[in-house]
Chain A
Amino acid sequence: MATVAARTAGGPATGRAPFVSVALVSGAALAYELLLLRLFSIIQWHHFAYMVISLALIGLGASGTFLALMRERLLPRISQVFVSCLALFGPAAAGCYALAQQVGFNTEEIFWDPGQLLRLVIIYLLLAVPFFFAGCAIGIALMGWRESIPRLYGADLAGAGIGSIALMTALTVVFPLQALSLIALAGSLALLVAVWELRLRWRISPALIFALMALPALAWPWRADLVVSPYKPLSQALRIAGATVLEQRSSPLGLLTVVSNERVPLRHAPGLSLQAPAGPPPQLGLYVDAGAVSPITAWDPTAGTAHFGQLTSALPYYLVQPGRVLVLGAGGGGAVQQALALGAERVDAVELNSQVSALVRDQFGAFAHGLFQNPRVRLHTADARGFVSTDRAAYDLIQLDLVDALGSSAAGLNALGESYLFTVEAMEDYLARLSPGGMLATTRWVRVPPRDALKLLATAAEALRMLGSSDPGKHIVLIRGWATSTLLVKKTVLTDQELRSLRRFCARRGFDLAYDPSIRAEEANRHNVLRRPWFHDGAVALLGNERQGFLARYKFNLTPATDDRPYFGHFFKFKTLPEALSLRGRGGAALVEWGYLVLVATLLQALVGSALLVLLPLTLLQRARPAQATLSTLRLVTCFAAIGLAFLFIEMAFIQRFTLFLHHPLYAAVAVLSAFLIFAGLGSLLANRLAIQRRARAWMGFAVIGISLLASIDLALFGTLFELFAGHVLWAKLGIAIILVAPLAFCMGLPLPLALAQVASSQPALLPWAWAINGCASVVSAVLAVMLAIQFGFTLVLILAVLLYALAGLTFPGNALQAEDPLT
């Protein structure tokens, strides 16, 4: 009966469904989404990029609502509508971005200037347009070729999977802006393929018009420049007379810009002591994504120690004479030069981005006095955690000097600010690589009241406890200047001699002792005087018995990050928010922890957007045709929302797990994302056969059970497999990742097309709406997964996903249909 219903319920389209063009436009839309993350990470900040994307995706949801409302009018001319949407996608993708980057939004002014909100809304509306066209194309195909829904959905997923790989490949070759033109090209290609697939009679005039429309979209990205926020460090550097861009390189890991200025050279020496006689030698600025600068310094190894001994990060070199040093996150090479200047015998430098290494080693190698050609230096292109977990050498010193997980945020695929560099497990890994008397030194920018420095100290203490230390305080030193703080963790107990050297080091440079095993309260807060010795008090509390009470009473979150909750930068506490906000106009703006607020705002706007664009139109729709409502609305909403939420929960949790396993944020994200999409697409192809049998509901049950089992098995196997294969080459590990993902993803490809097919056969008018609910749930899901992971960890996200699939099984629309059968 289901099949009969599907064939007779008013579907006008005949012939083969446009699988290839659906796959193409779906791939182009996903590539566009990922590219927008890249582009907005450069012109704005990556937090903001997520905010934009999540709302732009509501364009997809809105397309479902639009189709539902206009169904009667659109169905008779389905091919034309489909082709028009494809034709409009490409020009909209390029054109809307071109306009959006001109809007000139400034996040920091949102406190002060209500006009900024208006600008934000304009950006949202612009970027929603291309997604709307892509969503309309896919949605109308689902409506028009209802018998082929599962296969169309499969094409949609597989296309998206291939699109993500294609974009990442393209980004290794072209600059991000130019990749826009490739996306417009994919849109045009989808149009041509659709004309062929649907056997439309080729008419010259519309084809010409379409071609003319696409041309500027293809050409614009090659002639235009990115409009970067004037407040980003690169923009600031380029405003200064004499600034020249020497080199620009791009990869999915980030856009690199090297700036030289002979008239006003860069002078970057974070936290240089006030006692220092001079600043740093001449420098070139190396900017990643127009953001933080990592200088390339023209330091001549034969010309003394320069400024390198006058930084807080120099401390370990004055306590012991480290023979072998490991620098994690080499960047422009400053920490490597510091190690050489201060007497290290051998330095191993680890840098994730091979373009960064290449610039410092080759192109600007002469400027840096052959830093990476120095026989005492070895350069490794690797992820820091990956290097530490596979390397077997013992180091006297491991340096993490003002590094952040640039790679993960720049890749734009990982969620907000995950970092595996500063978790408890990471600290354990670092300590394991130290020689018996070895030290780990981490330097961060100072924030007042203290945040990073104290959280890092708490994290180190936790790691030391895990490694069996009964008194972590005996291994830890924390010093600070006005700009930077350095935390030193020694594998063994610090000696009296070292503590004497420590005092001498600090006194000579005007740095403050915040904590060391022998510190007396009156020794703290002497040089850079704060109203209270916050750093000292915090350190003492965190290392003592009042730790839990202090963590609870402190107004920022200092609980150490773990690999399951890898959010070192999460200092936000809800209870501080009202106070911080009330003080924003009174010098307290810097107290507001923005990252998390952006996340909350993103979730709220996604919920509100979904409600406005999907639920509201639905109520109108229901009122218009009450007679047709045979499916319970609540069941339908629950089922499709649950499937949408669960799919992305699992995807996000897996990306997180595999980032640690593959030790590369980008490879992990692309491998997991595309494997999920492609194998789920294959699952959907199978669903096409299953859906036309009467046992759709039973198949749904099998799918849910399969997902639960496989997810549990994966969860149980992660640890063992990861340990077993930790030392293997990347390709072997990618293979393992795909083996773990494939069967699970295959099962995850079943529920949505099965449910869609059920709706299509019983109440086709609700089909686009169901599609829209799923789309909106996916948007909410990505943000919600991160918020849940911050609070409870990714393991819980995975468990929730399984429960959501169970819920979807219980509310599967097939049930309503069967209950209805005996009555009719």
Chain B
Amino acid sequence: MSDPAGSPALPQSSVRQPALPPRSCGTLPAGTVILIMALLLGLTPSTHADRYATQRTGMVQLIRQDVIDTSRYIGKERLDPAVMSVMGRVPRHEFVPEPKRARAYANQPLAIGHGQTISQPYIVALMTDLLELNSTDQVLEVGTGSGYQAAVLAELTRTVYTIEIIEPLGRAATARLARLGYANIHGRVGDGYYGWKEQAPFDAIIVTAAASHVPPPLLKQLRPGGRMIIPVGSRFMVQDLLLIEKSPAGEFAVRQILPVRFVPLTGEH
């Protein structure tokens, strides 16, 4: 957990505080110079917060547009407002390695080390939406990564259990989530294949990277009526989203959702 001295932990609430205007120092050029210097030195936490908040609003806007563009595929014009509100709230930059923070709110996946990534915001929003969470739900995440997806889930549900297979990543994520005040996320380092038996069943399960098959133990730990989502593709390029619904009778219905506005045949609509 390397954190720059100049940017203290941002509790969620502070993010939503109204932005403080930078103090004017008389003439505009001087003020600008001082502001730039301050930014360079990283001495103005409020300005940091403002900047990130602005970027986050822009990111939410981008997601909204992507959803409209792909509406025919995902079957809706807009995502659940609760999901969008969470996307506009969770400080994504906190989950991105320091050198890449400038791009934290760009609509792109980012490498977080250990051969892992933090997913593209649009994909995070879409997957979260497809899980159709309730505030009382108990969710299992396989593949904690940076912890960003878990944070998004935790804002929408009662409890999130998350398992990470790579030890340093799992430990860093747990510490980060604790620091950001997510008390309803329980993380552990281990093999996600067998799920989290003690806490099963789950109302929703999210597997953050597809393997060769869906682990049968996870299917068992999904509560009848529950939903599971898995992105299929490579770390940086999602091909489709696998949405598995378990009927009350315990049968599985699978949808393969192309997260993009594309038809394979010219002239097709």
Contacts and interface: CB of A to CB of B under 8 A. Distances in A.
Contact of B232 (A483, A530, A531): A483
Contacts of A271: 212-213
B63 to A, nearest CB: 10
A268 interface: yes
13 contacts: A108-B236, A112-B108, A112-B236, A241-B166, A241-B167, A264-B165, A264-B190, A274-B252, A276-B216, A483-B232, A530-B255, A589-B236, A590-B238
Interface in B58-115: 66, 69-70, 72-73, 103, 106-111, 114-115
Which 8 pairs across A and B sit closest by C-beta, in order of nearness?
A: A230-B115, A587-B259, A272-B213, A449-B264, A587-B260, A108-B236, A588-B260, A589-B237
A112 B118 CA distance: 13
Interface stretch (B7-15, B196-204, B239-247): B239-247
A490 interface: no
A449 B258 contact: yes
Contact of A553 (B122, B261, B266): B266
B111 A106 contact: yes
B237 A579 contact: no
Interface string A466-483: 000000000000000011
Interface of A: 106, 108-109, 111-113, 230-231, 235-236, 239-241, 263-264, 267-272, 274-279, 447-450, 482-483, 510, 527-532, 534, 538, 550, 553-556, 575, 579-580, 583, 585-591
Nearest to A480: B256
Given A263-B191, A276-B216, A556 B238 contact: no
Nearest to B209: A236
B235 interface: yes
Given A269-B213, A448-B239, A529 B166 contact: no
A241 B254 CA distance: 32
B211 interface: yes
Contacts of A550: 265
B31 interface: no
Contact of A449 (B210, B253, B262): B262
B66 A482 contact: no
Contact of B235 (A231, A264, A579, A585): A231
A270 to B, nearest CB: 5
Nearest to A555: B264
A586 B69 contact: yes
Nearest to A268: B212
B42 interface: no
Given A241-B166, A483-B232, 12 more contacts: A239-B166, A263-B191, A272-B212, A272-B216, A279-B213, A448-B232, A510-B254, A527-B254, A529-B256, A586-B107, A587-B238, A587-B258
A228 to B, nearest CB: 10
Contacts of A263: 191
Contacts of B255: 528-530
A469 B191 CA distance: 51
B221 to A, nearest CB: 13
Given A274-B219, A585-B107, A448 B254 contact: no
A258 B189 CA distance: 24
B237 A590 contact: yes
Nearest to B126: A587
B256 A448 contact: yes
A588 B262 CA distance: 8
B248 interface: no
Contacts of A585: 107-108
A233 to B, nearest CB: 10
A270 B191 contact: no
Interface of B: 66, 69-70, 72-73, 103, 106-111, 114-115, 120, 122-123, 126, 165-167, 189-191, 193, 210-216, 219, 232-240, 242, 244, 252-268
Nearest to B241: A587
Given A267-B193, A279-B215, A482 B266 contact: no
Nearest to A233: B115
Contacts of A113: 103
Contacts, number: 159
B38 to A, nearest CB: 26
B170 to A, nearest CB: 10
Contacts of A482: 232, 242, 254, 256
A450 to B, nearest CB: 7
B254 A583 contact: no
A657 to B, nearest CB: 35
A231 B115 contact: yes
A294 B20 CA distance: 58
A274 B242 CA distance: 12
Contacts of A106: 111, 236
A240 B143 CA distance: 12
A583 B189 CA distance: 36
B166 A448 contact: no
Given A447-B239, A579-B262, A483 B212 contact: yes
B122 to A, nearest CB: 6
B239 A590 contact: yes
Contact of A267 (B215, B232, B261, B265): B215
B193 A279 contact: yes
B237 A108 contact: yes
A591 B232 contact: no
B216 A556 contact: no
Given A106-B111, A270-B212, A510 B264 contact: no
B28 to A, nearest CB: 32
Residue among A556, A585, A587 with max Cβ neighbours from chain B (10 Å): A587
A551 to B, nearest CB: 11
B227 to A, nearest CB: 14
Contacts of B252: 274-275, 510
A274 B234 CA distance: 22
Contacts of B266: 553-555, 575
Contacts of B256: 448, 482, 528-530
A231 B106 CA distance: 22
A112 B236 CA distance: 9
Nearest to A263: B191
Contacts of A583: 260-262
Nearest to B258: A448
Contacts of A275: 252
B175 to A, nearest CB: 18
Contacts of A529: 253-256
Nearest to A112: B108
A275 B214 CA distance: 10
B214 A272 contact: yes
A531 B258 contact: yes
Contacts of A111: 108, 236
